[in-house]
Structure 1
């Protein structure tokens, strides 16, 4: 089976009209009760090692969520 070649070919942007008119819906547009948020934290030291770390489990496991403002 051959792989279709898409480079340099026109692509149908089915979401384009909604994005440019502002009518597109994104996950950030929805608020749910007890919603948890995540933040990606990058390393401050390149090639550093984490000798002391805390394990954090999401709300669906035996762990608990942490208030980011505390």
Structure 2
């Protein structure tokens, strides 16, 4: 029974940390992306903060970096 509660706490922690990581990563990506104009960045910051995880995921899907492999 103790193992269940330990695993359950880990699950709760992951449910909190993963969205925070995605939010921080999307904001970092937005601020370091030079292809987006300043006005668009302001709008995206508002979208990310208003819609949290969904806004972050939408931003990352739309402005996905394409990595070129030589």
Provide TM-score, normalisation by structure 2.
Answer: 0.26
Structure number with the bigger relative contact order (C-alpha 8 A, sep ≥ 6) is 2
Query: Quick check: which one's helix share is greater?
Result: 2
